[in-house]
Amino acid sequence: MHKLKKLILLILSISIAPLYLMFSNSTEIEASSNDNNSINYLKLKNKSTSLSTIYSEKYQSLIHNQINKQKKLNNYTFQHPLLIRNPYGTNTIAVYMYFKTTEELQASYTIRCDNFTNFEY
Backbone dihedral angles phi then psi of residue 91, each to the nearest 5 degrees: -150, 105
36 secondary structure, DSSP code: T
Total domains in the fold of the chain: 1
> Is 17 inside a domain boundary?
no
**Helix/strand/coil for 82:** strand
> Is 8 inside a domain boundary?
no
The alpha carbon of residue 71 and the mean position of all alpha carbons in its chain are separated, in whole angstroms, by 8
Q: What is the pLDDT of residue 43?
A: 80
> Is 62 inside a domain boundary?
yes
> Is 9 inside a domain boundary?
no
User: What is the value of pTM for the model shown?
Assistant: 0.61
> Is 113 inside a domain boundary?
yes
* Helix (H) or strand (E) segment spanning residue 14: helix 2-24
> Is 63 inside a domain boundary?
yes
Range of the domain at 114: 27-120
Q: What is the pLDDT of residue 70?
A: 92
Instruction: Walk along the chain (121 residues) and give the pLDDT tens digit of each residue.
Output: 667 666 666 565 555 544 444 444 445 655 555 666 677 888 887 788 888 899 999 999 999 999 999 999 989 998 889 999 899 999 888 889 999 999 888 888 888 889 999 998 8
Asked if 70 and 28 touch (Cβ cutoff 8 Å), the reply is: no
